């Protein structure tokens, strides 16, 4: 387990789509749930196409950052549910720390140059 952080670091930095998908999976969700959540938390800016989402989920499963934790619905409307693995959680935390320190810098620089940051709005 000591090794987990070392393995997790190799996945950084994440693409924006990957970060948003992992962040969405702090709660178990099915594919459609991820699409809706990502669109909502990004304020409608990021709309994941189904090809992009399915490809990302396949990759994340292969990399063992997420796992399938069951199914919802019945018959033709059955959907697989995805959850973070401990490795996925670690990757999300490390990337979050990286982005947060970047974001503090961005906030300072932007204010100094006369721009507005989210905090000032």
Partner 1 sequence: MGGEMTTKTMFHIFMAWNSEKEERWLSEQERAGWHLSAVRCFGYTFEKGAPADVAYRLDWGPSCRKDGAEYLGIFRDAGWEHLGRRGTWNVFRKPVVNGVVPEIYTDPESRIAMYRRVIAFLVVFLAVMVSQMGPQIARYDSSSGSGRIPFVLAIYGILAAFFLYGIARMLIAISRLKQGRPGLD
Closest CA to 68 of 86, 85, 82, 54: 82
State the first-to-last Cα distance of the chain, in angstroms, to the nearest integer.
42
Q: Using the rule CB under 8 A, is 70 a contact of partner 1?
A: no
9 binds partner 1 (CB under 8 A): no
Q: Which of 9, 45, 78, 104 binds partner 1 (CB under 8 A)?
A: 78
Strands laid side by side in the 29-30 sheet = 29-30, 79-84, 66-72
Q: Does 31 bind partner 1 (CB under 8 A)?
A: yes
Binding site for partner 1 (CB under 8 A): 15, 17, 31-32, 35, 46-56, 58, 77-80
């Amino acid at each position: 387990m000591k090794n987990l952080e070392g393995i997790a670091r190799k996945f950084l930095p994440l693409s924006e789509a990957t970060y948003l998908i992992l962040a969405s999976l702090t709660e178990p969700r099915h594919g459609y749930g991820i699409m809706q959540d990502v669109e909502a938390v990004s304020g409608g800016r990021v709309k994941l196409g189904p090809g992009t989402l399915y490809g990302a989920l396949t990759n994340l499963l292969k990399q063992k950052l997420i796992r399938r934790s069951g199914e919802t619905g019945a018959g033709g409307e059955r959907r697989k549910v995805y959850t973070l693995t401990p490795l996925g959680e670690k990757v999300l935390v490390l990337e979050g720390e990286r982005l947060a320190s970047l974001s503090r810098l961005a906030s300072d620089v932007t204010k100094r140059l006369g721009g507005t940051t989210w905090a000032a709005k």
